[in-house]
Structure 1
Amino acid sequence: MQKAVHRAVRELQAGEGELTVPAVAARAGVTPSTIYRRWGTLSQLLSDVALEKLRPETAPVDTGSLKGDLILWLEQYVEEMASAPGRAMIRDILRETLPGNASQCSAFTYGQIEHIHARALDRGELPPPAELLLERVIAPLMYRILFTPAPPTAEEARRLLDEVLTYPLGEGNTDATANK
């Protein structure tokens, strides 16, 4: 049922009809009460569909270096999130009154960064903490994506990343890129 309802939402979002709970229900072959019981509101349903689209399907590409992995992943992240459909998905997730899907979206991003982090450690590199990348790279990019008319560029993302990669990581280590 969930797949049918999600498919109906995506079809209606593509301009194939009015996006209402009754229209989604009719297209999915369920009753409107089924949708209301499962999702509560149209906003929560849209948030659920958007979250499913944002779920990573694969691990980040391994370029052979921490910096290369992060640059490639970040460029793809910015391109996807800053696109018109990406912005719409983020807004759908944030429109939900319960924080669950927004937290899950954050967990997807954190998981991708953690995957890159673990791979870097396996190669003997010293990656910055995932939290630092979220706070100093992802957060400013997401702010630009959501609240400014011009989305961030790949160059801006690389500049933020370079600032984090040269951030002191602890006693005796002043450069996260020192092992490259």
Structure 2
Amino acid sequence: MTTNQGVRPGGRSARVQASVHKAVTELLDERERGELTVPMIAARAGVTPSTIYRRWGDLNELLGDVALQRIRPDGEPADTGSLKGDLLAWGIQYMEETASVPGRAVVLDLLAAGGDCSGRCLEIARAQFGILLERAVARGEPVPDKDLIVDRLVAPLVYRILFSNQQLEEGYVEVLVDGVLEGVAS
């Protein structure tokens, strides 16, 4: 249950969201995720628990919403001059950030929230790929479909990061990027 869609930016709603997100972030810096409770977050944020339940539904949805804010890119992806280079730079950065302890926690929070959070996470990645693909088209390069990038680059990275004890390296990302570009018309 996500009730924060369609909320107008600014005003009291934005202040509540900022306060609650700040409280979650501070509390996660101080203690384990499993120790967090809605009343604890509400007290830190200066709101009532019912405000959190009304807006986010439950703790998992709130943590997912905070995780989404943490994964939003600060800017456009790197422009290396080629689609292969751009995908490689994006993939390496994604691997490094997501394989970190905080990165894994963010992914797990998104998965626990499910539904709308997972969909919004996918849209963030697809928007980044849209930028890369627009650049490639402008350079006259052939491009794959965004979903192919998700299926052949993002999905294997997330799976390996979450379910393997293997330390991932840049060479693995290179293999995945080659798989994305394999068969794309020249």
Instruction: Please confirm whether the aligned pair reaches a TM-score higher than 0.5, indicating the same fold.
Output: yes
Q: Partner residue of 2:24?
A: 9
After TM superposition, the runs of 4+ consecutive aligned structure 1 residues lying more than 4 A away are none
Cα RMSD after superposing both structures: 1.5
The one of 167, 172, 179 aligned to 1:156: 172
- Alpha-carbon distance change, 151 to 43 in structure 1, aligned in 2, over 3 angstroms: farther
1:79-119 deviation line (CA, Å, top 9, x unaligned)? 111111111111011112x5000011011111111110110
- C-alpha distance in structure 1 between counterparts of 2:100 and 2:23, whole Å: 22
The one of 55, 61, 66 aligned to 1:38: 55
- C-alpha distance in structure 2 between counterparts of 1:150 and 1:108, whole Å: 27
The TM-score, its normalising length taken from structure 2, stands at 0.85
- C-alpha distance in structure 2 between counterparts of 1:129 and 1:47, whole Å: 27
- C-alpha distance in structure 2 between counterparts of 1:10 and 1:73, whole Å: 25
Q: Partner residue of 2:71?
A: 54
Q: Partner residue of 1:70?
A: 87
List runs of 5+ in structure 2 lacking aligned partners.
Answer: 1-15
- C-alpha distance in structure 2 between counterparts of 1:138 and 1:64, whole Å: 21
User: Offset of 1:134 from its aligned partner?
Assistant: 1.2
Counterpart AA for 2:21: H
The TM-score, its normalising length taken from structure 1, stands at 0.88
Report the identity percentage.
Answer: 49
How many residues are aligned here?
A: 169
1:12-70 deviation line (CA, Å, top 9, x unaligned)? 00016952111111111101111111111111111110111111221111111111111
User: Offset of 1:150 from its aligned partner?
Assistant: 2.4
